[in-house]
Amino acid sequence: MRIIDLHCYPNTKEWIACQQPYVDALAKYWNRSWSAKTEEEVIKDFTDGGVEAVLVALDLETTVNTPPCSNDFVVGMQKRHPKRIIHSWGAVDPFKGEMAIAEAKRAIRELGMLGFHFHPIMGHFAVNDRRLYPLFEMIDELKAPVMIDVGTTGMGAGMPGGMGAKIRHAHPSAIDELAADFPNLTIIAAHPGWPWVDEMTAVALHKGNVYWELSGWAPKYFPAQLKVDARSRLQDKIMFGSDYPSLPYERILREWKELGYKDEVYEKIFHGNAERVLGL
């Protein structure tokens, strides 16, 4: 069965560098070393996992003052390994204003990226902040989808004040409002959305332009109702993502299979919905 992984990070030294000073906190949160791999090692992980990866750029420059893991970097990595990395999500820092809008246009029109990923907690914004709407108006004009993190994060977890990050920025209500204001914008909510899983379920069911990938959690820990909804009323909305390198593919895929869904449901989750909605 084809497996499209919508949420993969480069996991190279360039990606690790843009996360300072959160690296030690992430290692503690995931209970393992948070260290870089070579590009060849990353591709081997994708190959061994049997996934076709969509790579994610990251730009936290205005909040943590580190250089981005740029759009050019992830596109370059994609072009070097097109059979294993099939597309890429761009990163634009909303607080860069006109520079962000110009980069959004360049990412789609020149680099050919799929769309854009937003990390509201670490970016220190909510996506329904009207100050950000000129950027979303451009993304809407470009007909590019967006992937937006929802729920808590390991970034800054356990650090004093969470390093200034606010979990409330990633509440599903922000996605609900953005989806209402931009009905033609395709939105993929990323991660299960804890502690607001039921609220995220309501948004996904109510807004026709909102979908949901459940990366970053071991499937056995999905809330009971989400396990039921993913195979029933949400089966046309759910997509697969891993949040690589957060968890090993062997564990994630094994635990997805242990949920015991019908083959036709797995076909939708692992590739069918992403093919239909995102054209992958």
Q: What is the CATH number of the domain that holds 91?
A: 3.20.20.140
8 Å CB contact between 187 and 116: no
How crowded is residue 273: how many other Cβ atoms within 10 Å of its Cβ?
24
**pLDDT at residue 164, as a whole number:** 83
Q: Which of helix, strand or coil describes residue 7?
A: strand
- Please give the model's pTM, rounded to 2 decimal places: 0.95
Residues 6 or more apart whose CB falls under 8 angstroms from that of 254 comprise: none
Amino acid at 77: M
Total structural domains within the chain: 1
Range of the domain at 74: 4-278
Nearest-angstrom CA–CA distance, 174 and 170: 7
**pLDDT at residue 30, as a whole number:** 67
Through-space distance between the first and last CA atoms of the chain, rounded to whole angstroms: 15
**pLDDT at residue 20, as a whole number:** 72
Q: What is the pLDDT along the chain (280 residues), one digit of tens a residue?
A: 999 999 999 999 988 887 777 777 777 776 767 688 999 999 999 999 999 999 999 998 998 888 899 999 999 999 999 999 999 999 999 999 999 999 999 999 999 999 999 999 989 999 999 999 999 999 999 999 999 999 998 777 777 887 788 999 999 999 999 999 999 999 999 999 999 999 999 999 999 999 999 999 999 999 999 999 999 999 999 999 999 998 999 999 999 999 999 999 999 999 999 999 999 9
**pLDDT at residue 63, as a whole number:** 87
Beta bridge partners, 115, equal 89
